[in-house]
Amino acid sequence: MKQNLADLGKIFLIVCAISVMHYYTSYTSTEFHAFSALLYYIPIIFAAFRFGLKGGAWTGFLVSLIYAPYLIWHRAQLPAELVIKVLDVLLYNGIGWITGILVEAEHKQKRRYLHAVEQLKRANEELEQKIREKSELEEQVRRADKLAALGVLVSGVAHELRNPLGILKATIQVMERELGANAPVREFVSVFKEEVERMNNAIQEFLDFARPSAPQFAEVAVNEIVAEVVQFTRKYLEQRHIVIRSVLADGLPAIYADKKQIRQVFMNLVLNGAAAIKAAGGLEIYSEPLDHYIRVRFKDTGCGIPAENLTRIFDPFFTTKDAGTGLGLAVAHRIVDAHCGFIEVVSEAGQGAEFSVYLPINAERGRDA
């Protein structure tokens, strides 16, 4: 706006300056007089370039107005030149109009090009987005395929193991009864019993993984689940010199979810965070609303996850631990998926890790899932 006014001022001043020169030289010097008439084209063309048709036409008209008194006063002295001078005036207007029209046409063309470039850019961005979505989908399908194949295998093996284990367990119970409290081998029998129990639990875990139960949706308060997990793990974490802290947003809406399953997800994330802390450290849990989700962040000061592992940690059986099964995150992923939510992870080797669980607030979506 400011620039427009400045340019209008410039055009007006140039026209005035040329007019002064034109009128002044009319008696003194004919060459300069003729030259000054030509100079009028400069502001006209400049105005057309700057303001399009309107600029060219109005400046041409302004010049004609200023030129007119000169023609009228001198019409008696200039019979021969009069026709040429009148033609000059017409030409000022003609040049103003033509240049204005051409400039506007070019501007229009330029706008069209810019629009086309903009559209191309947008199409390109959409394409990139589609490619990203496709590779994410492929990743999900790959994981789901692996899970399905694994499910069949694991449930078959687990089933076969369960029967002999059941027989072992029953036999041990009979042995225990028969041996009496003071028998010297009683201690061994207890070890037997414990180990069988441990195997049974491990098999149960595999079976849970292979045949996950459908979520039982009910109204739950996310903060309550976080508080339970914190309370449940605090003692264990204290022993490992890990300070756990939760910062929970007030007034979060209840969500439709399977409380047990979400607790399992949170538990897995807390235990993973703790396992990543070698000597001492901290674990923080934040809950907050974000768009249509409740986001629960688990932040630890542990060893972090190297970039090459980031895409693999949700794969079943991916583990970097000697005694890990590598199922924790795969299960967590599946549970959150069944709740129409998602998990994000941000981490760098040596910088700790932050897992964010997004659970939808929209109750219907959760219920339908």
Ligand X SMILES: Nc1ncnc2c1ncn2[C@@H]1O[C@H](COP(=O)(O)OP(=O)(O)OP(=O)(O)O)[C@@H](O)[C@H]1O
Q: With CB under 6 A, what is the number of residues at the site for ligand X?
A: 22
* Residue 319 contacts ligand X per CB under 6 A: yes
Residue 361 · residue 294 · CB < 8 Å? yes
Task: Give the x/- contact pattern for Mg ion in 244-273, rule: CB under 5 A.
Answer: ----------------------------x-
Cα gap 317→153, rounded to integer Å: 13
Cα angle vertex 171, ends 154, 177, to 5°?
140
Residue 252 · residue 222 · CB < 8 Å? yes
Q: How far is the CB of 262 from ligand X (least distance, A)?
A: 16
Q: How far is the CB of 312 from ligand X (least distance, A)?
A: 8
Residue 287 · residue 222 · CB < 8 Å? yes
Taking CB under 6 A as the criterion, the residue among 179, 189, 326, 337 binding ligand X is 326
* Residue 303 contacts ligand X per CB under 6 A: yes
Q: Which is nearer to Mg ion, 260 or 321 (CB)?
A: 321
Task: Please tell me whether residue 352 adopts helix, strand or coil conformation.
Answer: coil
* Residue 272 contacts ligand X per CB under 6 A: yes
Task: Give the x/- contact pattern for ligand X in 130-149, rule: CB under 6 A.
Answer: --------------------
> Binders of ligand X among 151-170, rule CB under 6 A?
none
Which residue, among 43, 62, 55, has the nearest Cα to 101 in the 3D structure?
A: 55
Please report, as a single letter, which amino acid is at residue 82: L
Q: Which is nearer to ligand X, 53 or 277 (CB)?
A: 277
How far apart, in Å, are the Cα atoms of 221 and each of 18, 224, 294, 356? 82, 5, 10, 17
Q: Which is nearer to ligand X, 56 or 273 (CB)?
A: 273
Which residue, among 362, 297, 361, 369, has the nearest Cα to 340 in the 3D structure?
A: 369
* Residue 300 contacts ligand X per CB under 6 A: yes
Q: How far is the CB of 241 from Mg ion (least distance, A)?
A: 20
Which residue, among 289, 283, 267, has the nearest Cα to 353 in the 3D structure?
A: 283
Q: Which among Mg ion, ligand X, none contacts residue 49 (Cβ within 5 to 8 A by kind)?
A: none
Q: Which among ligand X, Mg ion, none contacts residue 326 (Cβ within 5 to 8 A by kind)?
A: ligand X
DSSP string of 345-368, one letter each residue: EEE-TTS-EEEEEEEE--HHHHHH
Please report, as a single letter, which amino acid is at residue 214: A
Q: DSSP character for 254? A: P
> Binders of Mg ion among 292-331, rule CB under 5 A?
328
* Residue 353 contacts ligand X per CB under 6 A: yes
Q: In the complex, which residues of this chain contact Mg ion (CB under 5 A)?
A: 272, 328
Q: In the complex, which residues of this chain contact ligand X (CB under 6 A)?
A: 268, 272-273, 276, 300, 302-305, 313, 318-321, 324-330, 353
